[in-house]
Amino acid sequence: MEDGKMQRLDRLLWRIVDAAILLAVLGMVALIALQVGSRLVGASIPWTEELSRFLFIWTVWLGLAASFRAGAHPALEIAPVSTSRRLRLVFTIVPAVATVILFVAVTYYGYKLLSQQITFGEKSPILQVGMWWATLPLVLGSALSIIGVVVDACQGHADKSDFQKAVASHEGNAK
């Protein structure tokens, strides 16, 4: 597959993820507002809390994946910037490999849990929907995090951090 097609596929995938995050956040806001309003009039709506919790889980796991793809995860940048190119490569590859190993394990065990919930028909207490709806984002988010980490490590960050910009500026002024 050509680079152009891969880039378009990558952009499409992350646009879908971003849209899902946006919808989940908007849904949470609406549900929590409904819950607060209903409590003010003395008629609490119990399903709003459970559904907002499900949406929160989706937001967390998809947001985690999106942050890895954008290179927005926490990172120690002082050492990699101030070292040789070869050592910088190590500082990029080692955390990426460790992260991939972690998310492969989370994806694998999450999938096992998801399969078990589907097999046994586990249901949520209030909405009576399959509990796998709360586990699916763990599996999807972990798998997408693997993709995000690999793409980010291969491409590098699109934007340099403020620290990297300052170091680059200082190095340019010193010459």
Domain count, the chain: 1
The per-residue pLDDT for 158 is 44
Rounded CA-CA distance 98/142 in Å is: 13
Q: pTM higher than 0.85 for the full model?
A: no
Q: Which residues contact 38 (CB under 8 A, 6 or more apart)?
A: 44, 45, 48
Mind listing the pLDDT tens digit of every residue in the chain (175 residues)? 577 888 899 899 999 999 999 999 999 999 999 999 999 999 989 999 999 999 999 999 999 999 988 888 766 666 666 777 788 778 788 889 999 999 999 999 999 999 999 999 999 999 999 999 999 999 999 999 999 999 888 886 444 444 454 445 545 555 5
Write 44-53 long-range contacts (CB < 8 A, 24+): 46/126, 47/126, 47/127, 49/126, 50/124, 50/125, 50/126, 50/127, 51/27, 51/127, 52/27, 52/28, 53/134
- Structural domain boundaries, residue 72: 3-174
- Ranges of beta strands (E only) in 92-143 are none
Phi, psi dihedrals of residue 16, rounded to the nearest 5° = -65, -45
**pLDDT for res 80:** 61
**Predicted local confidence at residue 166, as pLDDT:** 46
